[in-house]
Amino acid sequence: MRFFFNDMLEICPLPNLYGISALGATLRVYKGDTATFEMQPPTDLSAKEFFTPRHYLENEWSLELMSQEGFDEMKSIATDISSARAPCSAISSSFENATMWPPQLLAAFAAEREGSQHESRYYAPYNKLLNWMFPSWDYSVVPHAVTGIHSENIIYSIALFVMSRGKLVMLLDMKDDGWIARGSTRDRAEVQIRHLFYDNFNSCSLPILYGISALGTTLRVYKGNPATYEIQPPGRWLALPGTVLPPHFLENQWSVELLSQEGFDEMKKIAAYILSAS
């Protein structure tokens, strides 16, 4: 937690950075000063012993999230963060009633495009988008580690799963914009989204499972049948290791621009189906 926290202090724009270590629903709250890099609670130097004593940090995770004390602590953190940052306007309408993308969402994607050239820059705006599409407590947006096809110990990226009552209702796999330019990376995106379907069909209770492969904000929409394991659009031949793919392989198959009106209408159609079927 502390190593990760120290790295984040450098890029936090607020006076204080909060961090929470959760062991189940039992929490330890950290607070870092972005000017001095001091962190509370302070580091226990006894941790430098070769053998960590059995009682080391015992009872330091003492805050039960689901208690009133836990609620009050989270409320205090949220209030401090809200008061320290520049005010921003909330999205005024629900996704169900909206007819186009709100400026706040467009701004969120535009801001992330100025960041590093890695798909992780899109995790936050896509997460915000899916939570706006499915605001009910019956739905949750869950990060899913995408591992290698031949090794489950290597995490390549994070996909987002929309869950309802423990069942998968939609999946979204994100890659950076640069993936759309080459046949080899388009092939990798195609293989990965199909493996996500096949690996998770058995956790979907809907007649149709929607999946989206997003290369930046350019989308390819898939529909899978959990009963037959069929996926539309059908798969093309999959390249064997070492195969040199033609540069036009799967060209123009990612053809829906998310932030366009067509993209809005497509997401609206997907959400309407999921909300009616789940």
Give per-residue pLDDT as tens, 5-23. Answer: 877 888 888 899 999 999 9
Q: What is the pLDDT of residue 127?
A: 94
Highest averaged pLDDT of the listed ranges 50-64, 118-132, 186-200: 186-200
d(CA 139, CA 127): 13
2 pLDDT more than 80: no
Mean pLDDT, the chain, as a whole number?
Answer: 86
Q: How confident is the model at residue 251 (pLDDT cuts 50, 70, 90)?
A: confident
114 pLDDT more than 90: no
In 3D space, the residue among 228, 173, 206, 197 whose CA is nearest the CA of residue 272 turns out to be: 206
Q: What is the pLDDT of residue 247?
A: 76
Range in 61-65, 83-87, 96-100 the model is least confident about: 83-87
